[in-house]
Structure 1
Amino acid sequence: MKVSINGVVVAEAPEQDLISIEGNRYFPPSSLMSESFSDSPTPYTCPWKGKAQYHDVTAGGATHHDAAWSYPTPYPASFDRVGRDYSGYVAFDKSQVSIS
């Protein structure tokens, strides 16, 4: 699957490598075009996953604020609910990106 913004691919991975959590597909860190991502200061803590890290994504010369997020160090208890360790996997704001 590919994630793109204005036709620029910012992540790509086989579907079997993705993790589905609450309707969002999380891409492994190795699938990201890392030069497109920068950490955002936006704070958020999920009650069952832990502290999120939002990311601004730059593509095609434009920066898209909080277009992605991850859980760098999720609560270990959440691994049972998800079924595996998803530390550092990245999900995307569907209103800002195309996923195909």
Structure 2
Amino acid sequence: MKAVLGDVVIAEAPKEDLISIEGNWYFPPASVKSEFLVDSATPYTCPWKGECQYFSVKDGDDVLQDRAWSYPTPYPTAFDRVGKDFSNYVAFWKEVKVTD
């Protein structure tokens, strides 16, 4: 599967390596091209997943604020709910299209 912004592939991995959580596909950290992500200071803590790290996504000269996120250290109970460890996996918001 691919995460694509415009015609740029930001992440790519086999579907079996991704994790689906609440309707979002989370890509393994090694499959994400980090040069397109910029750490964001936006705070958020999910009640069941834990503290979130947002990223802004570079789109040429533009930066789309908080369009990607991950959970660097999810709550241990979240692993039971999801079925596996999703630490540092990255998901994307609507402008970044996830396709087969």
- TM > 0.5 fold call: yes
Q: Tell me the distance in 1 between the aligned counterparts of 2:20 and 2:26.
A: 6
State the TM-score, normalized to the length of structure 2: 0.95
Structure 1 gap ranges (5+): none
Q: Tell me the distance in 2 between the aligned counterparts of 1:54 and 1:46.
A: 12
| RMSD (Å), alpha carbons | 0.8
Q: Tell me the distance in 1 between the aligned counterparts of 2:62 and 2:4.
A: 13
Q: Tell me the distance in 1 between the aligned counterparts of 2:66 and 2:22.
A: 18
Alignment match, 1:43: 43
Q: Tell me the distance in 2 between the aligned counterparts of 1:98 and 1:20.
A: 15
1:81 aligns with 2:81: yes
Look up the equivalent residue of 1:7 and give its one-letter code.
D
Shift of 1:62: 2.0
State the TM-score, normalized to the length of structure 1: 0.95
Look up the equivalent residue of 1:59 and give its one-letter code.
D
Look up the equivalent residue of 1:78 and give its one-letter code.
A
| Percent sequence identity over aligned pairs | 62
Per-residue Cα deviation, 1:25-70 (whole angstroms, up to 9, x for no partner):
1000000111111111111100000000000111323211111000
SS of the aligned residue for 1:77 comes to: helix
Shift of 1:97: 1.1
| Runs ≥4 residues deviating over 3 A | none
Alignment match, 2:97: 98
Q: Tell me the distance in 2 between the aligned counterparts of 1:79 and 1:8.
A: 31
Are 1:53 and 1:69, in contact at CA under 8 Å, matched by a contact in 2?
yes
Are 2:56 and 2:68, in contact at CA under 8 Å, matched by a contact in 1?
yes
SS of the aligned residue for 2:76 comes to: coil
Look up the equivalent residue of 2:14 and give its one-letter code.
P
